Structure 1
């Protein structure tokens, strides 16, 4: 916790910190749009079965010359429950009598139908080509779309695990980490560099090895024992934090990614939606920062994640015809998903001790990556009910918000540097509760 004293001497929020945040923002702007590409590369256009009298140029006859495309479609493709052409079946033989029945069946027997044995015809008015049209991932094969997304996200998860050491190579250069790993000279050098960037030219007169060693004495003593992965679960308070943070990350990332990569299933204009998200996301995140700083980490997360869940569940009850309302709800859902993810990251970083923070974030990140990878598989449940995946995403987000309440509040609290700091916070919290109970009991 004493590192904050050193940070104040080099400028706690100066040019150096602003440059860091700027570079991180630029990298995020480059990377995050890739998570939304599935709404375009895997978009599902309107489609119907290929039928000879409509789609085969070599088929011609006197009977077809005076018929419109709509008439030929009517006699070739049955209607679904919404009186729209079926997407996955066609008549075995053209039903010419349907042209004289005003859209109703008068015969007792239903005409024979069959699957799309000759392939599909896709509407290319919006998307000329997607992986759906290239590989015919519709009807009986529609679940393969979700499996493809699952494999893609699983690859990202495995890549993050395998190449996480490359990221640690950059993280390890922070002055806090260098000092906590007993590399005082390098840590001091980094602090002086930060001070110079922040315009504090006389920092070398104030910052010395002796000053660093004195201020960080307790933390350095606690860090002499080398930390490992198992230390995350060795002590009760840290173990509780890791488990709860992993669970929050799992359910929130599952819901967030489930919404973001499946916008096309909401049957709205995904191009307009992406524009609206780009316009609103930045001011919404600024509002999220305000809430986190004024309401605290726990209450603000509960509020934001609950709004995210409400947005998802509300879409289920809005008819397809009310496109504007569906667009508004989808936009708010996307915005709240970004704010939920960022607020969860802030809270997790503030709950984990510096000495083992990179390892802890890796474990929690694996939990989040697992949830993200599993999220597309829930779309397979659309074969039973179109609303079922969205209900799961919405309910799980509410669950994540409630789990956050089990974690400590970190607003205006110093960052823990060692595992012992985390355990001491737990003891102090329990003692405070015991004292409150004692006062309530002995007051009268």
Structure 2
């Protein structure tokens, strides 16, 4: 078990002296949160152009027999029909060397697969990866591959950049993804073929996961207990703004390559200032880099126009630890950390399965896909304001348990609604998705407060990896609807209800200092037990030790 550092236990006092929510913190938040408006736009291809458009075989061969055929007559003579009367999208009549009168009189009976490419309906999208790379018919499953590769990149980013933040600092783990995101986004727009597109989207996903898992840690470790809900709530609100903008971008720009350039351009701005983002002083102290931490704290105090007492600075100067290294083993061997860790993993996995299952089905609710996406984005903003208020008014535990339970029960109502009730289905899906997202917002704060500094980013990184696994499994879960439409809803709703119930096992962390050691958590546990069950201190200490 990691030994407690008295100096680090007083970091909250140092931060209050330097200003725990002054001009410095507001500038830091602005710099770190602006990119979160753009992150939702990277789901553009997954949610819009991956869906493709109507298509049929290219049958221009018949124009050699009669160049003046109307489009409708050309289709009637060259394409077979399905049972519902529509033209088949992956078959055509076998080309023949006849004159047009013979074709009209006798018709063609033999069919074949498309041999000269496809013609795509451009009424919705001028171009998409489906039309540019011909991801139809035998290659139709490649679209699902692209979604999985993107989600896999997010998973890898969480896996790589979580531990990177523990070893090399929060700042580096934020800066590198920004650079990669700009390069890969431009690369996606320039992709000459599907395989290059897959590679660039994988890097985009890796950058996405790396940035998301680290920026919130860096922001939280510089902010005091009273304002700690702000970073996560503001991020979710700006994400709602980004989703709203995504609907506009997708509606007005129907060429997928142009959209990729639009998405990439803000990253060119972020890359100009991301290098001046400061490191976490808490992380520097935990690594024994006292001189750097002292300079940063003095800088923060100057920006916030605060004067730090000498006795406070002595606590920084005297901190020469530097041997603290947290591993996954620490999360497993400590009974208290283990309980928190697996409860968080289960809940965060469950809410993300529901969130992505609903989000990736945006085009299947019966309403216009652009309008549905606009509704998704606009409703996020007030929902996150309510979520921030609930976290402060009710606490983290009650909030996350409540929103998961509500999200699960509301999603179950989708099974009771007729499939042709587009407005009702969209309303229920939006509400269920909102509650899932509110749960994610709460956990972004909660996970920082549940785990000590030396293991915080490791725990957060692993939790983020689990959420990305949930994102990768969501398209697979949605595919199970071919067996029965209720299966996906039952699975993600049931998981949300079950995990919401387990969240009542977690402690309340509202307005408490971030723990720097396992002993801090145990002391906090003892204090909570005293308030809820007043028995003698010796008995409480014995119970806490066993826990």
Q: TM-score, structure 1 length as denominator?
A: 0.76
Is 1:41 aligned to residue 49 of structure 2?
A: yes
1:189 aligns with 2:295: yes
Deviations 1:63-83 (A, max 9, x none): x99x977x959x953445xxx
Paired positions, count: 404
Indicate which of 519, 526, 529 corresponds to 1:420. Answer: 519
In structure 2, what is the Cα distance between the partners aligned to 1:341 and 1:27?
18
Structure 1 residue 352 displacement after superposition: 0.9
Q: Is the 8 A contact 2:366 2:420 kept in 1?
A: no
Q: Give 1:305 shift.
A: 2.6
State the shift of 1:129 in Å. Answer: 3.3
| Aligned residue in 1 for 2:266 | none
Counterpart in 1 of 2:205?
none
**2 CA distance for matches of 1:90 and 1:316?**
36
Given the alignment, which residue of 501, 509, 517 partners 1:410? 509
What CA deviation, in whole Å up to 9, does each residue of 1:26-63 have, x standing for no partner? 0111223213441112124345x6597x9955677xxx
Paired residue secondary structure (1:397): helix
2:38 partner SS: helix
Q: Which residue of 2 aligns with 1:100?
A: none
> Is the CA contact (8 Å cut-off) linking 2:480 and 2:488 kept in structure 1?
yes
Q: Displacement, 1:213?
A: 6.7
Q: CA deviation at 1:433?
A: 6.0
Cα distance between partner residues in 2 of 1:251 and 1:360: 17
Q: Which residue of 2 aligns with 1:151?
A: 149
CA distance in structure 1 between the partners assigned to 2:65 and 2:361 by the alignment = 39
Q: Does 2:460 match 1:361?
A: yes
Rg larger for = 1
Q: Does 1:269 align with 2:368?
A: yes
Q: Distance in 2 between matches of 1:35 and 1:336?
A: 20
Q: Secondary structure at the match of 2:53?
A: coil
8 Å contact kept, 1:147–1:376:
no
d(CA) in 2 for partners of 1:131 and 1:266? Answer: 23
Q: Work out whether 1:19 is the aligned partner of 2:18.
A: no
Report what 1:97 is aligned to.
none
Q: What is aligned with 1:179? A: 285
- Uncovered stretches (5+) of structure 1, i.e. residues with no partner: 94-111, 439-444
Structure 1 equivalent of residue 160 of structure 2: 162
Q: Which moved further from structure 2: 316-325 or 261-270?
A: 316-325
Of the candidates 334, 338, 341, which is equivalent to residue 437 of structure 2?
A: 338
How far apart, in 2, do the equivalents of 1:314 and 1:427 lie?
Answer: 41
User: 2: distance between equivalents of 1:422 and 1:193?
Assistant: 30
Taking the aligned partners of 2:373 and 2:465, their CA distance within structure 1 comes to 28
| Equivalent pair of 1:188/1:207 in contact (CA under 8 Å) | no
429-438 or 226-235, which deviates more:
429-438
The whole-number CA distance in structure 1 between the counterparts of 2:400 and 2:381 is 17
Counterpart in the other structure of 2:357: 258
SS at match of 2:358: helix
The question of 1:77 aligning with 2:76 is answered no
Equivalent positions of 1:281-430 (< 5 A) are 281-429=380-528
Cα pair 1:78 1:89 within 8 Å, conserved: no
CA-to-partner distance for each residue in 1:200-254, whole Å, 9 max, x for gaps? 1x32x4455424478x8xxx88x86543332222211012212221222222222
My pick for the range that moved more, 258-267 or 352-361, is: 258-267
Pairing 1:119-134 to 2, within 5 Å after superposition: 122-134=120-132
CA distance in 1, matches of 2:406, 2:62: 51
Provide the rounded CA distance (Å) in 2 between the counterparts of 1:357 and 1:158. 19
Q: Any conservation in 2 of the 1:313–1:394 contact (CA below 8 Å)?
A: yes
3-state SS of 2:288 partner? coil
Q: Distance in 2 between matches of 1:113 and 1:349?
A: 66
Structure 1 position 358, deviation (Å): 1.5
Which residue is equivalent to 2:348? 249
Q: Which residue of 1 aligns with 2:235?
A: none
| Counterpart residue number, 1:210 | 314
Q: Residue 231 and residue 115 in structure 1: after superposition, are their counterparts in 2 closer, same or farther (change >3 A)?
A: farther
Structure-2-length-normalised TM-score: 0.63
1:158 Cα shift? 1.8
**Whole-angstrom distance in 2 between the partners of 1:318 and 1:55:** 48
Q: Secondary structure at the match of 2:467?
A: helix
Question: Judging changes above 3 Å, is the alpha-carbon distance between structure 1 residues 370 and 321 closer, same or farther for their aligned structure 2 residues?
Answer: closer
SS of the equivalent of 1:410 reads: coil
CA–CA distance in structure 2, aligned partners of residues 115 and 392 of structure 1: 41
Q: Deviations over 1:349-386 (max 9, x none)?
A: 11011122122211222222222222222232132234
Report the Cα distance in structure 2 between the residues aligned to 1:410 and 1:318, rounded to whole angstroms: 39
Secondary structure of the corresponding residue to residue 233 of structure 1: helix
Q: Which residue of 2 aligns with 1:228?
A: 327
Give the drift of 1:133: 4.2
Asked whether the 8 Å contact 2:408–2:494 carries over to 1, the reply is yes
Q: Could you list the per-position Cα deviations for residues 380-403 of structure 1 after superposition, in whole angstroms to 9, with x for gaps in the alignment? A: 213223443233233222233223
Instruction: Answer with 424-433 or 354-363: which moved more.
Output: 424-433
Note closer, same or farther for the CA distance 1:286–1:55 as it changes in structure 2 (3 Å cut): farther
Q: What is the CA RMSD across the aligned residues, in angstroms?
A: 3.9
